[in-house]
Structure 1
Amino acid sequence: MPFSVSWQTLLEELEELDGATLVTPLSHDRFRITDVQDHRVIVHFEDGDEKRPLQRDQFESLYRRITDTPNGFELDRLPPDADPYPAVWSLHPRFEIDEDAGVIVEQDGPTSTQLLEGEPASESDNRTEPDLAVYADALLLVDALERHDVDVLEELETDVLVNLYTLLSDVQRNANGVRQDVADVLLARLHHDRLVNGPFGSVQRTTRRNRTLKDEETVLAALEDAGIDRERVMGVDRGKVDDALEVTDLAESDVYDIEESAYVRKAEVDEERKDSRLQGLKEQLAAVDSDEGEALRQEIEDLEARIDELTEFKSGQAFQSRGGGNS
């Protein structure tokens, strides 16, 4: 099918959109299509308030790459800042993005799109409490940090320090569990060490090599075949040394350099006390009247806006599009 026909079909699909939101396949940035023209499509990114024109010739270039590749065009081969182009192409009835495989491909049958079906709830009443241990522990920790002056830890009572240490330990452990779950999902979406940005930071797929020696005979035989005497690689076995200490009069210090250091270890957790305090916090939050609740929501929104302002990343292209009158 000629590009001009596919382009016209795509424009018709875009014309029917009414304020819908799309998401880019690699960076998962959200954007809206604000204007559709014969030679370009204007999009508006929600993060950073960036407006950008997507040019027809760039759509054509991506179209050629997709249709010339039977198994789909690999998304990690996209040029910088080209992430929205495949997202828009996915609105065409014959093009589909496979994020697991990291490709955009032409299909003969029905396809899916990068179009988000609905908007996230913006009102605090619609927020749901996540069923995660780290959420409960984090709420308790925030409460403890608000009630005590942690700028001068030396002035806090011992029981307060014990509570803080316990909560920090629980948050760290449970957060690491959720962190690993998130990492497992992200790993399937990141390709070839490509840096992917989010509002608060960036992640990148990396490779770690772990080495484990094969069994002793296999290793020694391979080295001997290579002309290496086995005596050259035979060393002291720590396990055998410990066994020898058990049946001799040698002291541990005779064969080990020993250095001791003290540390704090969490011995136990009063889960019943934590649950009781947590329930009290939830009841306090639920009891906030409408005026105070609205003020709290406004305060949270202002804080979130301030965080976005401090952490957002704008490319040079974003500033050029603002100053160059591309819209």
Structure 2
Amino acid sequence: MSFSVSWHTLLDEAEELSADAVLVTPLSQTPFRISDTQEHRIIIEYVEKDETRPLQREQFETLFRRVSDASAQEFDLDRLPPDAEPFAAVWSLHPRMEVDEDIGVIRQTDLETTTQLATSGQEDEQTEREEPDLQLYSDALLLTDALERHDMTDPTAIETNALVDLYTMLSDVQRSADDLRKEIADVLLSRLHHDQPVSGQFGSVQRTTRSQRALKDEETVVNALEAAGIDRERVTSLDRNKVDDALAVTELAESDLYELDTTEYVRKADVDEESKETRLQGLKDRLAASDAADDEVEQLQAEITELEDRIEELTSFTSATSYHTSSTGG
């Protein structure tokens, strides 16, 4: 493809966009609109900040050349300067240019391509809502129902059996949310290509690297340190198993050798899955069997709609399934 022909095709595609069409940059997911197209530039305006920016034809040509000159006719998005992402997003309007976020490239192709257009809220509203086949959805629905039947501003006023149910459901939501979060994280990890944050509607994520270390076998470590002039005695430590063996044959108390910290905690001992399923089915049946105009159904439907907004709050616990209170003993 020649650049001149491709440029005018791109201008035509940009001019055909509706005035409210939103594009998103491929890495940082920054939304913007095209406000004007001219012979030598395309003007964009950012959705989330009061800023317009001209994208010059020469810079579009630079990116075009880098894609065209590559042996595979593709260019790594990681190599784009931070302010060059909008050029890739706009190029995706061209029928022969594609941004592949899964592998992090912009490429030329003869196949049908997709653009970096964002999904509008109106399209979301027109999509029929379906109950997801997820354990988290069922657990969260039960928890939402329970929270709305109790005044959580003062948990001390709630009866013990109700608190037990709430604790059980919170634990179930946490576990199923952690499982789903791990699956989503694995997918996201394959799509994040550098340390630049990627934003969604409710937050942002970033690829990070965490290093862990473990000592090599004792002989290797000690020999290496001795060769470097460090005495063996300086790095050898007490073996806990040997200390326990010695403790068992002496009159020393455990507190003489250990700092003791006693922790009391609540642990989920059992779950009545049958009762949970009965209650959950009751909620679903009330939605399915009642008239859509019924006030109760409208209220339940509103509650389910709000459920997604509450999930983050309901699952904002540590990864442990127990709530600990700590007291130190000597």
Q: Normalising to structure 1: TM-score of the pair?
A: 0.76
Distance change >3 Å, CA 301–CA 6, structure 1 → 2: farther
- Residues 95, 105 of structure 1: 8 Å contact kept: yes
Residue 11 in structure 1 maps to residue 11 in structure 2 = yes
> How far does the alpha carbon of each residue in 1:26-47 deviate from its partner, in whole angstroms, 9 at most, with x for none?
24466776865544556688x7
Q: Give % identity.
A: 57
DSSP 3-state at the match of 2:265: coil
- Residues 54, 85 of structure 1: 8 Å contact kept: no
The amino acid of 2:5's aligned partner reads: V
Aligned Cα RMSD in Å? Answer: 3.8
The amino acid of 1:243's aligned partner reads: D
> How far does the alpha carbon of each residue in 1:129-171 deviate from its partner, in whole angstroms, 9 at most, with x for none?
1121111111111101100000011111111111111111111
Q: Distance in 2 between matches of 1:163 and 1:302?
A: 23
Match of 1:321 in 2: none
Residue 234 in structure 1 maps to residue 218 in structure 2 = no
Report the Cα offset of residue 23 of structure 1. Answer: 4.9
Distance change >3 Å, CA 158–CA 92, structure 1 → 2: same
Match of 1:168 in 2: 170
Q: Distance in 2 between matches of 1:74 and 1:202?
A: 22
The amino acid of 1:101's aligned partner reads: I
Distance change >3 Å, CA 284–CA 84, structure 1 → 2: farther
Match of 1:225 in 2: 227
- Where relative contact order (Cα < 8 A, 6+ residues apart) is larger, the structure is 1
Moved more, 26-35 or 179-188: 26-35
Report the Cα offset of residue 55 of structure 1. Answer: 3.0
Distance change >3 Å, CA 298–CA 168, structure 1 → 2: closer
Residue 122 in structure 1 maps to residue 125 in structure 2 = yes
What are the ranges of 5 or more consecutive residues in structure 2 without an aligned counterpart? 311-330
DSSP 3-state at the match of 1:263: strand
> How far does the alpha carbon of each residue in 1:155-192 deviate from its partner, in whole angstroms, 9 at most, with x for none?
11111111111111111111111111111111122222
What are the ranges of 5 or more consecutive residues in structure 1 without an aligned counterpart? 308-327
DSSP 3-state at the match of 2:264: coil
- Residues 55, 87 of structure 2: 8 Å contact kept: no
Distance change >3 Å, CA 302–CA 252, structure 1 → 2: closer
Match of 1:60 in 2: 61
Distance change >3 Å, CA 277–CA 91, structure 1 → 2: same
Match of 2:133 in 1: 131
- Residues 99, 116 of structure 2: 8 Å contact kept: no
Distance change >3 Å, CA 41–CA 128, structure 1 → 2: farther
Match of 2:281 in 1: 279
Match of 2:245 in 1: 243
> How far does the alpha carbon of each residue in 1:200-230 deviate from its partner, in whole angstroms, 9 at most, with x for none?
1121111111001111122122212222222
- Residues 137, 167 of structure 1: 8 Å contact kept: yes
Q: Distance in 2 between matches of 1:290 and 1:5?
A: 54
Residue 262 in structure 1 maps to residue 264 in structure 2 = yes
